[in-house]
Structure 1
């Protein structure tokens, strides 16, 4: 097989890049080691920056999002038993869209199927070769047969554990990592959310987040120990603890019900530099991970796609390598700003085991300053709705 761009991974970044390339008339093939149903069964983020919304519009997959998604003009920081609203729209003129990553993925998969663009699921032993030369290629096994895809470029959209970053020699890549000393215990339940906007709660018992996927499906989290086990948490125990960490009026309004998904996620920050190696480009989680506090994971993947798509389009349309040459620097500039914001939000809203009395007073002072300073609130709002590409 021969194509212009081989895309490894059919998560939202790979599918979004593929959709944009297809609409621009640039041939591409997506290869993934797992099945379509497995991908759609994964539970992921649900807050989209307005820039991501615009990119989905450009890709022609925004209709259902606009029909079913929930535009949010603000969110609440809860501490000292009170709500303090950050008015995103008043401070920035922009808003965010609550629309689950699974739905974004489904829309992109459906659009790819309509376009007739090829995707290979359940591809075993995916490997990439000669990306440091002029003729890269990808191999995989399917139904016992080895296949080869010759291409001009390879986009590694296959996540933190994928083959793309692992194929780069260690001496050619530098990684930066911070592991946080706690995790998030999260549940999904078909119950109405406790508030129509997100609530980020800082409480002496630990952080809590009230989020949603729709007006009838809630996504709730609480900070927990890294070595905690899901089996230790019945629904009743979770809701009792979640209720304790909310302001009283939210706690009283909380509707409970059986969860259908429950998991514990560790928190980390991770960045790999650079994001280009010859004709191989790292995209999304294959290059960087952020804690979910700032709602940046999917949005950072989308901004990577923006820079890479524009560089590839320029290359194939104008024979100019300026865009692809600038990809890593442009993407990393935005990545590090988002990593900083996610770290800042995590530090601000969680209780750390080694904070001490002094550190706790600093955190409380920072929260108080944030809500009483328009400049500080604006800076937070600008980062939350998404920095410009």
Structure 2
């Protein structure tokens, strides 16, 4: 079998790239080691930058997002028992869209099926080959039979633990990583949100986040030690702890209910360099991970897709390799700025086990500065809505 672009991974980045390439008549085959139901069963964040929503519209998959998504013109920082609103619309002229990643992935999958795109699920031993030369290929097993997919390029959109990153570990891949000494205990529940917009809370007991998936489904988080166990947290214990970390007037509006999903996610920052190895490219989580504090993970995957799509578009239009050659540098320049912002928000809002009184006072001063400086709020807003591609 042959295609023009082989895409490993059928998450949002792989599917979005395939949708954009399909728009310009470039053939793709998407390969994944798991099935559609497994992918749609994963609970993920869903704050979309304005650039990402525009990219989804460009790919022709934004209709349901615009119908059902929640447009947010700002968000709140909570500290010292008060709220400080970051007015995204007033400060930047732009907003963000709250739309669950699961729903976004479903839209992309449905669109690909409607277009007749080929997706291979439950592929075993997926392996990219010969990407250093002009004739790369991907091999995989399906129902015990080995197959080969020849192609012009390989897009590795299969995450940190995927075959794409593993294939370049011994080819000069460099790693930059920071592990944070805490995690987020998250609860998903079918209850109305406590607030119209997201609330990021700094509290002496630790960080908390009030988020949402819709007007009737909420996602809440509290900071916990890395060695904490989800089994020790009853629903009642979670709701009690969440309310302790919020201003009184917000805590009173928290509607409790049984959790649909409850888990603890560790926080880390990670970047791989470079992101291009001959005719194979690392995209999204295969090349970088951010703590969720700045809402950048899914959005960074989208900007990777944007840069790679532009390079491939130029190649198939006139044979130019300049865009393909520039992919890694262009993507990494934006990735590191997003990593900086995610690190800044994480440092600003969490309590670190090693923090002394001086560190806490600096944190308080930074929050007070944000509350009293429009310039500081504009900087946060500019990064939150997403730096330009």
Q: Is the shorter-chain TM-score for this pair beyond 0.5, marking a shared fold? A: yes
Instruction: Identify the residue that residue 85 of structure 2 maps to in structure 1.
Output: 85
Aligned to 1:23: 23
Q: Which residue of 1 aligns with 2:120?
A: 120
Q: Give SS of 1:175's match.
A: strand
CA deviation after TM superposition for structure 1 residue 145, in Å: 0.8
Q: Distance in 1 between matches of 2:231 and 2:144?
A: 39
Give the CA RMSD over aligned residues. 0.5
How far apart, in 1, do the equivalents of 2:252 and 2:106 lie?
Answer: 36
Shift of 1:170: 2.8
Structure 1 residue 169: deviation in Å?
3.9
Give the corresponding residue for 1:354. Answer: 354
2: CA distance between counterparts of 1:254 and 1:5? 48
1:373: which partner in 2?
Answer: 373
Per the TM alignment, residue 150 of structure 1 is displaced from its structure 2 partner at its CA by: 0.2
Distance 2:26 2:232 in 1: 50
Quick check: 162-171 or 345-354, which moved more?
162-171
SS in 2 for 1:364: helix
Render the CA deviation track for 1:130-179: whole Å, top value 9, x for unaligned. Answer: 01011100000001111100000000000010010110143511110000
Match of 2:384 in 1: 384
CA distance, structure 2, for counterparts of residue 173 and residue 58 of structure 1: 32
Question: 3-state DSSP class of the match of 2:78?
Answer: strand
Aligned position for 1:64: 64
Counterpart Cα distance in 2 of 1:303 and 1:372: 32
Which residue of 2 is the match for residue 74 of structure 1? 74
Which residue is 1:240 aligned to?
A: 240
Residues 20-79 of structure 1 show CA distances to partners (whole Å, capped at 9, x for unaligned) of: 011110000000000100000000011000000000000101110000000000000000
Match of 1:340 in 2: 340
TM-score by length of 1: 1.00
Secondary structure of 1:381's counterpart equals helix
Q: Equivalents in 2 of 1:345, 1:170: separation in Å?
A: 34
Kindly indicate whether residue 179 of structure 2 is the aligned counterpart of residue 183 of structure 1.
no
Residues 311-326 of structure 1: pairs in structure 2 closer than 5 A: 311-326=311-326
3-state SS in 2 of match to 1:107:
helix
Q: Deviation of residue 386 (structure 1)?
A: 0.3
Corresponding residue for residue 105 of structure 1: 105
Provide TM-score, normalisation by structure 2. 1.00
Structure 1 match to 2:130: 130
Partner of 1:194: 194
Question: What is the distance in 1 between the residues matched to 2:313 and 2:60?
Answer: 17
| Structure 1 segments unaligned to the other structure (5+ residues) | none
CA distance in 1, matches of 2:127, 2:200: 42
Q: Which runs of 4+ in 1 moved over 4 A?
A: none
1:254 aligns with 2:258: no
Aligned equivalents of 1:252, 1:8: Cα separation in 2: 46
